[in-house]
Structure 1
Amino acid sequence: MKRIILTAVAVISFAFANAQSTRFGIKGGLNIATIGNAENAEALVGFQLGGFAEINVWKKLFVQPELLFSTQGARIDNYGNAADYTVNLNYINIPVLAKYYITKTFSVEAGPQIGLLVSSENIDDERTVDAAFNIGGGYNFTQNFSVGIRYTVGLSNVYDNDRYNDGYYYDDRYTNNVLALTAAYKF
């Protein structure tokens, strides 16, 4: 974990040192989240809020590190004979995206993300670190205001498989998957 954080800091520092221009901003929006492979899982509506830096590294190519608070999870509909319940997972997510402007107003983005679990509800033996990959796009209405859509594909299991593997509950990969619709303002 320490290596991942140090590597991210080194990449961001290198980008700042070599950047032609950097803009900072805030963003927030709607999350539509679920847990992949969870039986009878339904989407859970949440939100994300945070800040970012848009660092121009070469012509139309930018690096965009972000720091976001994100609510994720799923509604589980009548799992077995149990009552319905909601799994709430709150993360501090740190995506580092490569962002390319196809035109002055339209961009595409992709990159890895590390999530640090802040709190959880109605889940046992959850992992405290979540790995994911993002892909998305954005549209700039003005130089300062933009909107975006992003899909986050979970790469790591929400549950801690290392401690339990009973051949039923922990065998499958239960991953965070999030569709985010956001608005952002750059300073």
Structure 2
Amino acid sequence: MKKILIIMLCLASTGVWAQSSEFGIKGGLNYGSTGDINGFSEAREDFPDLKDGESKAGYHFGVFGKFEISGVFIQPELVYTKLTTDYGAFDYNLDKIDLPVLLGVNILGPLNIKAGPSFQYITNNEIEDGTFKIGNVDKDVTVGYQLGAGLNLGSLGIDVRYEGAFTDNTAFNEAADNNFSIDSRPSQWILSLSIAL
């Protein structure tokens, strides 16, 4: 009798998770910038256009899973992100793979809030101007955070989030005569559209 009850409970819990699990694709726009530029103070006379990083629009796309029970869910994602920052004298391009793992709560009808860590792996960072070269970032993987709100309308979802950094991730200039560094960890707003398959 005990074995039958355990099997029934396992099947029931599997059914609950199956009814509350979904997978899908997502994509959208992001607007933000990477961090400060350092060590360029002596060269500002030669580069009068140089300024603090100015936000520009980028894009992202990827896949997600959502596992929900009793109005609480975990939402892991795997997302490719493209971001450009305007430093006046040059643009800094950043391509990265993001792995946010968000904990969310349904709060009112189709509305939810979510937050959690976001792991970042940079696949490419480069300066668009041929005068300068930037080296590899200091750390291959860094951890930031994302928080925001979402709206689910059937299989369609809309998300607005903010992504920030816990620590810097410095990329250094390769030339000794122009010694400067850029913090590659971005702060950005993320607008996403998702479709559950």
> 2:34 — aligned with what?
35
Runs of 5+ unmatched residues, structure 2: 1-13, 38-50, 128-133, 173-178
Post-superposition shift, 1:47? 0.4
1:186 counterpart residue number: 196
Q: 1:129 Cα shift?
A: 1.7
Q: TM-score, normalised by structure 2?
A: 0.71
| Higher radius of gyration, 1 or 2 | 2
Shift of 1:169: 5.0
Identity of aligned residues (%): 24
1:2-53 Cα offsets, whole Å, 9 max, x none, are xxxxxxxxxxxxxx9x945210011100011212334511012110100000
User: Aligned partners of 1:73 and 1:110: how far apart in 2?
Assistant: 24
Cα distance in structure 2, aligned partners of 1:97 and 1:34:
22
Deviation at 1:175, TM superposition (A): 3.2
Q: Does 1:176 align with 2:175?
A: no
Q: Which residue of 1 aligns with 2:156?
A: 145
Match of 1:104 among 102, 106, 109: 109
CA RMSD of aligned residues (A): 2.5
Give the partner amino acid of 2:142: D
Amino acid at match of 1:65: P
- What amino acid does structure 1 have at the position aligned with 2:64? F
Match for 1:93: what amino acid? D
* Aligned residue pair count: 157
What stretches of structure 1 of length at least 5 have no aligned partner? 1-15, 78-83, 162-167
SS at structure 2 position matched to 1:175: coil
Question: What CA distance in whole angstroms lies between the structure 2 residues aligned with 1:116 and 1:87?
Answer: 17
Preserved CA contact (<8 Å) 2:34 2:186: yes
1:60 aligns with 2:71: yes
State the Cα distance separating 1:75 from its structure 2 match: 1.0
Q: TM-score, normalised by structure 1?
A: 0.75
Runs of 4+ aligned structure 1 residues displaced above 4 Å come to none
